[in-house]
Structure 1
């Protein structure tokens, strides 16, 4: 259900962004909101993933990362919602392959975020002193795949957005 809601929100953002001309004023506002939402959502993801990495190296207890992730959910998902709304205002160029890659990365990172929830519930049910190496091979693999997908999609989307924005500014488009 949540996956369908995320996909519908993503699709609505893409379609509005493609078919509705918001004009230069809304484009500027949308870009400012987009950057702020990126800082909010991706910044929170980086902190949560950093704490998870510290747990992986045995520097913090497992529940520290899980508790932070649970507390950070509104920031992450609120930021993603703002990214979708503001993304519709910044006139995404769907004829550009790199823009399409960026948009697909955003959808994948949202669905990945939803798919990791059961693994996080399993982690929080374990004793706080549980180390990464004590998890089942399957759970370790699931966590590493989710982390890799998340970071790959976030960094790809951010870099493409930066390049697209810079090229628009340089070309006056």
Structure 2
């Protein structure tokens, strides 16, 4: 490792950036938990008729398709980067383009979920709702890593990341996929019963 002199001003900016990122992550995590609680709470009091329920289901599934489709695309390109078949700059660019789709779809699912009258006494429903909360928080926990990756040279390979960064990325990927698939499978099982 080579020594690269860094000014105190640069070090101060980095520390301030890290602090602002931590504040952002904490604020977004709190907001995600509150929105999730509001959605679950609203679902206990909102009752709609058959046409509105059907409309809510259609919008819920469309939101799922948008969010999960974007997740699959980003994760697939991330996997290709891991294999050396994509550049880091492509991944960062794709992530930036997909992020509004992911969060917009997730917001759509939370809003429409309030109209679906979930069976909150069912352990399967509780599992699905917990998976949705965890995947939201997991996405927020990726923000610091993605910000660090955006500052790396465009051709940086996965193997050049620190061990902590690689573990962080792989853990977030595994949690994301586990939570999305859990929520989807449980949602369809609950729809059949």
| Category of TM-score, reference length = shorter chain | over 0.9
Q: How many residues align?
A: 167
For 2:92, the equivalent position in structure 1 comes to 66
Structure number with bigger Rg: 2
5+ residue gaps, structure 2, are 1-26
Distance 2:71 2:146 in 1: 14
For 1:28, the equivalent position in structure 2 comes to 54
Distance 1:34 1:97 in 2: 21
TM-superposed CA distance for 1:25, in Å, is 2.1
> Larger deviation: 145-154 or 13-22?
13-22
For 2:171, the equivalent position in structure 1 comes to 145
SS in 1 for 2:84: coil
In the superposition, the TM-score normalised over structure 1's length comes to: 0.94
Query: What root-mean-square deviation, in Å, do the aligned CA atoms of Structure 1 and Structure 2 show?
Result: 0.8
In the superposition, the TM-score normalised over structure 2's length comes to: 0.84
Distance 1:91 1:25 in 2: 14
For 1:98, the equivalent position in structure 2 comes to 124
User: Does residue 41 of structure 2 align to residue 37 of structure 1?
Assistant: no
* Aligned pairs for 1:12-23 within 5 A: 12-23=38-49
TM-superposed CA distance for 1:24, in Å, is 2.1
TM-superposed CA distance for 1:129, in Å, is 1.3
TM-superposed CA distance for 1:4, in Å, is 1.3
Distance 1:23 1:17 in 2: 14
TM-superposed CA distance for 1:153, in Å, is 0.2
**1:81 counterpart (107, 110, 113):** 107
Distance 2:164 2:171 in 1: 10
TM-superposed CA distance for 1:166, in Å, is 1.6
5+ residue gaps, structure 1, are 168-173
For 2:83, the equivalent position in structure 1 comes to 57
TM-superposed CA distance for 1:37, in Å, is 0.2
